Every structure is written in structure tokens, then in C-alpha cells.
Amino acid sequence: MRIGVSVPEAIREIITRNRSIYDCMKMDLVNYTALAVKIQKEVEAQVGNAVNLNTIVVAIKRYADSFEKKDDVQNEPVLKNARLSLTDGILDIKFSSQDFGMEDAVSLMDGFTRIDPDYEFFRLTDSFRFLTEDISDVRKLLESFSSHKNFFQTGLAKISISMPQSENSPDAVSYISEILHSSGIELVNAFFGQDNIVLVLHEKDAAKAYEILRGEISR
């Protein structure tokens, strides 16, 4: 559940899964204050409380500064001691927070726990997101919430990356996104924590992405 993370963690996640902002930041074309205003509500939703705008601006600047160290990062084993797991046949489910309350989310999580204990749950600014195996029991469970507006995307896979906190690099988020992007692989979505990264990709790209990341671990 993506609530209670630090401001820098929230900043890295939000920027990395927004490719246009990410690319503009790499090219130093971003107005930090304007971007902070744009993402303030989303940052606060992930942090779990109000965040001063200046705090967000500083976190954005520090993240932008990390791109200047990109050459050094590439010479270091960023994914050293990381563990990977690939799961295909994933369903990405999105419920609008306007008509899907926390009680509904808890009820749905209870259902997923009985069917697929390895599901992922994320609460974002305007939505609740679930990643779970695309099987008939899950589809039936979703039918019981048919009165709520929801959107789900099929044909997906997820790569879970576990990184020991002692080895975790603050640049890992941008580094992973960059090496996949340079290989022609675009993420559908991504969620990041202190020691865990969940990448959501199209199934057709998942095996290639997995091999690329595994190669980074062993180099």
C-alpha cells in the first residue's frame, strides 16, 4: 500500500512513471516550482499528510541533480544483490476514488487475499489500483463491484525487484527506467518503495526486460 512513503520516494515514483516529465527533467527543461504545484496533491496522497510546496521543490531539484551523476551510476552495480521475479497474466484494475471508498477497497483486498495472496494494492491521488492475476475467480469478484466505475487492462506482466536497503541506490529508479527505455521497452506503470520496485509492462516486453535486468544484476 503506497501510503506513508517519504517525499523523495514519492517524487521519484511520480516522475519516473510520467515519461514526458522524466525526459524533460533529463534535458533540464523543467520549472521545478511549476512541477511541484502540478504534483503536490499526488505527493501528499502518497506521503499521507500535507507537504509544504518548498519541500517538494527541493526534492525535485535533488532528484534532477541525480541525472548529472548518470555516468558514474552506470559504472556501478546499481542492482547488486537484487532479486527479480516475473509474473505474466496480470490484470491492472483501477477504481476512481470518487465513487470507490476505503471500505470498498478493504473488502476487495479481502477477496483478493483469498484468491491471489500476491496481489498488489496502491492508493494514488485519484484512484485505487490493484495488480492481480487474471483468472476467472478474480473476474467474478470484480463483478460483485460492478456498481462502481472501474477500468482494467489485460495482457500485462509485472517484474518485482527486491533490493536490500543496504544496497539500494537513490538513482535505481531513473537507472532502471533509462536502460529499459534505451532498449525500446516502455513501462505501462511503475511503483517504487525503499526496497521494492514493481514494474508493469506489456506481456510481449516482459521476457526481454527481465533478461536485461538480470544481466544488470550479474555484471
Give the tens place of pLDDT for each residue, 98-144.
777 778 888 888 988 888 888 888 877 777 888 998 999 988 888 88
Residue 148's nearest CA partner among 103, 108, 192, 95 is: 95
pTM over 0.75: no
Q: Is residue 45 a contact partner of residue 123, using CB atoms and an 8 Å limit? A: yes
Give the tens place of pLDDT for each residue, 145-157.
876 666 888 999 9
Residue 174's nearest CA partner among 20, 14, 12 is: 12
Q: Is residue 178 a contact partner of residue 145, using CB atoms and an 8 Å limit? A: no
What confidence tier does 75 reach under pLDDT thresholds 50, 70, 90? low
